[in-house]
Amino acid sequence: MIEKIKLLEQKSRELEPASDERDEYLDKVINYSRSFLENIDSLKAYQTTEDNGKGIYDSPISDVPISIDKILDIIKNHVDASGINPASGGHLGYVPGGGIFPSALGDYLADITNKYAGMFYASPGAVRMENMLISWMCEMIGFPAETSAGNLTSGGSIANLVGIVTARDTAKLKSKDFEKAVFYFTEQAHHSAFKALKIAGLGEAVIRKIPVDINFKMKAEALDKQIQSDKKSGLRPFFIYATAGTTDVGAVDPLEEIGEIAKKHNIWFHIDAAYGGFFLLVGEGKKVIKGTEKADSLIMDPHKGLFLPSGSGAILVKDGKKLFNSHHYNASYLQDADKFIEEYSPADMSPELSKHFRGLRMWLPLKLFGLAPFKASLSEKILLTRYFYEQIQRIKGIEVGPYPDLSIMIFRYIPENGDPDKFNEKLVQEIQKDGRIFLTSTRINNTFFIRLAVLNFRVHLNTIELALEIIKKKIKLLSLT
């Protein structure tokens, strides 16, 4: 047996490369990332290739190793070459963040030390770091330091799920109550909320879509009326979902009024600030996002407004005990961990047990840069969007949506002849084919609109000028055909 163990050990030790091998891998990976970043301005924001990633399958997982050079080649040709380039400043679609460089250093260190940030006992420092980030966000939105708590999630969708489950359990909703429980949204609520409802077992609950005003914001009065009417019919108004920065147009619902209504009727108030939340760091954002302190729970995504790479969201709950009560579980094999608790452990505040040490990719850049460049970038993005909003209207035939609250807006071109929806659909396709910038579209009240989302930290004035130029050219081209 010893012989066999030794033989296996020899092979298994290959999992621990020697120092010079590590240096070689590091050098090559650093060179690859250096070249990616040095060329970022000329790389397309979107492109398709003939391969479209299929080449990945030519190198199946097997016992046979391949070199780091070959690995980087595969990544370059079959992963990085096609699709959206979320790191590109030209990415003006969906809700981009970009992925600031020091987050990669945080991830690297988190992976090397593999610190377990799930339980206080396992890494008090890592847990304190995550809790400190959560406290900082709670303070930003006006939640009391003494009671509030939260969790760093993989993104807004999971944060929504955690919020909904916490509200469900706090209200002690049982399955027999589900059909009478009422959720209040608007048409503009992010679809992850509805997905979360379904996953939380609440798919049979009553969903009310409260009407929006011309700026796509919830009509608070209509919400109040609907709640009163639901109460009269014996239903159980339970959860209000408002948004601070909708995905379609970046609209901020009237949070203060909604908060008052929630309080009056004793209904859980949840704010989706996945996109808009970090704009609270700047004056322009504070002017439009008012009333977050009235929420019971709120989500915000560092991988959006703090420009982190994908994989960073947050759920914040005013009364952290409620979050804990919904997600805490004991297991006998974890009994040692229970003896050393000075702070909430992330594993008690989310569905996850083993988890990535997400705090480091957020904490490291905040400490390394300080807040000032983040604030400048957020203000810049708001102003760039306003600039685009003004400039795009100089193109004859352009129709715009509401004046942007934050950094997302919609527009469309009305051609002299033909169907505007078809024209704008082709316009988006042409812009994507060009690939230097990437825009996406949406449908509102069954009308096709093009969206501009200015949140990648690499978007600056030159990108916006380029976007205007490309849009102008493509409209001209399509008008001639």
Binding site for ligand PLP (CB under 6 A): 95, 155-157, 190, 192, 243, 247, 272, 274-275, 301, 313
10 Å CB burial of residue 213 (0-12, 13-18, 19+) is middle
**Residue placing its CB nearer to ligand PLP in the complex, 88 or 192:** 192
Contact between 164 and 197 (Cβ < 8 Å): yes
- In the complex, minimum distance from the CB of residue 355 to ligand PLP, in angstroms, rounded to a whole number: 16
**Residue placing its CB nearer to ligand PLP in the complex, 131 or 243:** 243
CA 140 to each of CA 143, 269, 377: distance values in angstroms, whole numbers, following the listed order: 8, 17, 17
Contact between 453 and 93 (Cβ < 8 Å): yes
Give me the helix-helix angle, 420-434 and 461-480, nearest 10°. 130
- In the complex, minimum distance from the CB of residue 7 to ligand PLP, in angstroms, rounded to a whole number: 46
**Residue placing its CB nearer to ligand PLP in the complex, 93 or 119:** 93
* Secondary structure class of 151 (helix, strand, coil): strand
- In the complex, minimum distance from the CB of residue 142 to ligand PLP, in angstroms, rounded to a whole number: 20
Q: What are phi and psi of 456, to 5 degrees?
A: -65, 135
- In the complex, minimum distance from the CB of residue 438 to ligand PLP, in angstroms, rounded to a whole number: 15
**Residue placing its CB nearer to ligand PLP in the complex, 156 or 309:** 156
- In the complex, minimum distance from the CB of residue 192 to ligand PLP, in angstroms, rounded to a whole number: 4
- In the complex, minimum distance from the CB of residue 86 to ligand PLP, in angstroms, rounded to a whole number: 12
Distance from the first to the final alpha carbon of the chain: 77
- In the complex, minimum distance from the CB of residue 164 to ligand PLP, in angstroms, rounded to a whole number: 12
Per the structure block, which two tokens stand in for 258? 């909604």
**Residue placing its CB nearer to ligand PLP in the complex, 191 or 396:** 191
Contact between 268 and 262 (Cβ < 8 Å): yes
From start to end of 280-360, where are the E strands?
297-300, 313-317
* Cα–Cα distance for residue pair 133/305, rounded to 1 Å: 15
**Residue placing its CB nearer to ligand PLP in the complex, 236 or 304:** 304
Here the contacts of 332-337 (C-beta below 8 Å, separation 24 or greater) are 334/119, 336/121, 337/119, 337/120, 337/121, 337/122
**Residue placing its CB nearer to ligand PLP in the complex, 230 or 272:** 272
